[in-house]
Structure 1
């Protein structure tokens, strides 16, 4: 595991922690342990992970949205949202952030925190000439209706699910589909939406190594989470 260090005095950039490929349950347990143990001096971290195939359920998720698990593990979590899929070829970044800390414009509130995460995803996709957009009431990032790939307009390319504890500390995070086997998404109703198309960057004609995409997104998060 390697860590890129920065100053520990807020509003320093969150540390980037490369965790490699790791079973979801192990990472989930580690996130909660980190959050339990942290104090006001603990630096924020961004954990970069790639998971073996796994379906995860949010706190209020309806298990009927899992249409056929096909022997892929199904894990109940404490994040928000419905069911989603993680697997090889997907960027997963967990945000272990203390929102009470002073950033350049004061502490972040939950809505602005989510907006900044979404913006990081949009700007990362934009750097690869992919038009990502938000959808009202549907967390995540989708391919714009103006995208040149007509058959993939409106498809979901990134997901978002967070846990914010009462003390303002966060965990869980986001996923960006880079070069995946997309079939498992057809075995669920992604994020609770029946028939929602899910796409990755490779299908849209963008070939990028997973480590490059991980760092590109992590650096955008670092910037936007500490920006004015």
Structure 2
């Protein structure tokens, strides 16, 4: 799990028609990856989770796997931030109303699944305006911080930090919650391993 420097990524079959700029003149790197799905943006404040899963040990069904990844995010949003998210019929990802908070793009080879999901925690949403995120023209992109700020505004509070929603705190909370919910959804016992410095 990590945060990328600012970058646009396109899936194997992505169309450049969903870029609103000439990719040769982009302010950020534009990378074609092995995952499925259309163009999206990654940057600081967005958690990207790259699980490597042998689906033979779970369920050899790609739709099941995508729904399971969505379930991880839906549970994490509710258990940690009291955000009620859901799936949107016909689309992959996790939504709150009209806003997409999590994008999912995977690759599977011989039932080994890799790539994964991205959750917008406190990421700057401006770069999403330069693309058609995931190829969906009539939907918006949102973030946890933005939604918490809207809740706070409805309670007439003046500072997002009063809810303890400092960016680094939000990232830490989201990361711990994603790991916990991932272990429960996939019924895995996770162990943290420290790598020798020579491996880094």
TM-score, reference length from structure 1: 0.69
Q: 1:170 matched to which residue of 2?
A: 113
Residue 133 of structure 1: how far off its partner (Å): 0.9
Q: 1:185 matched to which residue of 2?
A: 128
Answer whether contact 2:60 2:111 (CA < 8 A) is retained: no
Q: 1:38 matched to which residue of 2?
A: none
Answer whether contact 1:189 1:195 (CA < 8 A) is retained: no
Answer whether contact 1:189 1:196 (CA < 8 A) is retained: no
Residue 137 of structure 1: how far off its partner (Å): 1.7
Runs of 4+ off more than 3 Å = none
**Structure 1: 5+ residue stretches without partners:** 1-47, 144-152
- Which of 68, 71, 79 matches 1:119? 71
Q: Give the count of matched residue pairs.
A: 166
Matches within 5 A, 1:123-202: 123-127=75-79, 128-143=81-96, 153-165=97-109, 167-202=110-145
Question: What value does the CA root-mean-square deviation take over the aligned residues?
Answer: 1.5
Distance in 1 of aligned mates of 2:102 and 2:172: 17
Answer whether contact 2:49 2:118 (CA < 8 A) is retained: yes
Which structure's residues are more often strand, by fraction? 1
**Structure 2: 5+ residue stretches without partners:** 150-164, 189-200
Distance in 2 of aligned mates of 1:139 and 1:110: 12
Q: Deviations over 1:98-143 (max 9, x none)?
A: 1112x5xxx4422211111111111111121111111122111110
Residue 217 of structure 1: how far off its partner (Å): 0.7
Distance in 1 of aligned mates of 2:19 and 2:187: 37
